[in-house]
Amino acid sequence: MATSLLAAIVRHIARLRTVVRSQRTLLVVIGATLAGVTVPALSAPLQPLLPALVAGLIFTGFYGFSVDEATDQRVSTPVVVSLACLYLFVPVALYPLASVALSGEILLGVLVVLSAPLAAGSSIIWTRLSGGNTVLTTVVVLASMGLAPLAMPSLIALLADSAVEVSASELVVELAAIVLAGGALAYAVPGGTVSEDTLDDFSVATIGVLIYAGVGGSTLAVEATQLAAVGAVAIGSIALSAAVAYGLYARGMRSDDCITVLFSSSMKNMSVSVMVGAVVGGGTVVASITAFYVVQQVVSSSLVRHLEGSVPGRS
């Protein structure tokens, strides 16, 4: 009797560990968000480390990256579609809707984040964890960052219909430093030294730290209804990208490439958004950007478990 009870307890513990492991990304995102709201004191010392953390995430995406593979795929349909969604379809479709429910600095924050380049870290991480094509995602990351100094200020000026100024030179320097640091580290570490599981664990933990620092360092002095509207826009961006990805799948595109389009056409870069937001506005702008980013991460992390079994060879 005692042996059977002990065996049942062991099975339940093993099952619980499996559930926690499979949902760790969602748990980390939610936990980091709650920690940032309730215990924000440690976020200030983390702020100077954010570029290094983003560079660390880029390292996990660049590690084992093949330049030859990227050269072969740089003009493929998933890359072109992802960039078109990222800088044209998503911001142009969603900003007018956002302007109906929002105004002032919180709306400006939504515009800034909608015009931002692809999130180098989370887009690659969610693509990898879901079984997508990380080579294509990396190509989109690099292309979007190269286009950001022109595309981001243009979208802000055009859609906001204002004379908001964004320093392209500062944006280039910031992006170049982060990408080069992550790429250099990936080049310096010998291939095969770090396992894929270790990369995934590090990535999820780092995303949690970034979310905590962003939430804890923001002044969330806005109404709950406004934050809900920002969250709805963030969900809308993923929904639009999902619709495009499904359309490509229905037309015969491989499922791993469709997953790549999903995450490479919607995930917005928080660090770049916050940098620009601090230039064009105040704390409410940053709060809007943070809320958008957190909702995107929560939705994306919940999608990972459903998507990772849809690609052959993944479970």
Q: Which residue has the higher pLDDT, 272 or 152?
A: 152
* Integer CA distances (angstroms), 293 to 15, 81, 121, 296, 299, in order: 31, 22, 13, 5, 10
Q: How far apart are CA 84 and CA 105, in angstroms?
A: 26
pTM equals 0.73
Which of 64-73, 152-161, 230-239, 275-284 is least confident? 64-73
Q: Is the pLDDT of residue 250 over 60?
A: yes
Q: What is the mean pLDDT of residues 78-95?
A: 93
Q: Is the pLDDT of residue 315 over 70?
A: no
Q: How far apart are CA 183 and CA 59, in angstroms?
A: 6
Which of 94-98, 132-136, 244-248 is least confident? 132-136
Which of 7-21, 132-146, 158-172, 290-304 is least confident? 7-21
Q: How far apart are CA 30 and CA 25, in angstroms?
A: 9
For the chain, what percent of residues have pLDDT higher than 70?
77
Q: What is the pLDDT of residue 113?
A: 93
In the block, tokens 């030294």 appear at 193
Q: What is the pLDDT of residue 76?
A: 82
Q: Mind spelling out the 3-state secondary structure of 111-162?
A: HHHHCCCECHHHHHHHHHHHCCCHHHHHHHHHHHHHHHHHHHHHHHHHHHCC
Specify burial of residue 120 (Cβ count, 10 A radius: 0-12, 13-18, 19+).
Answer: buried
Closest CA to 266 of 130, 60, 114, 111: 114
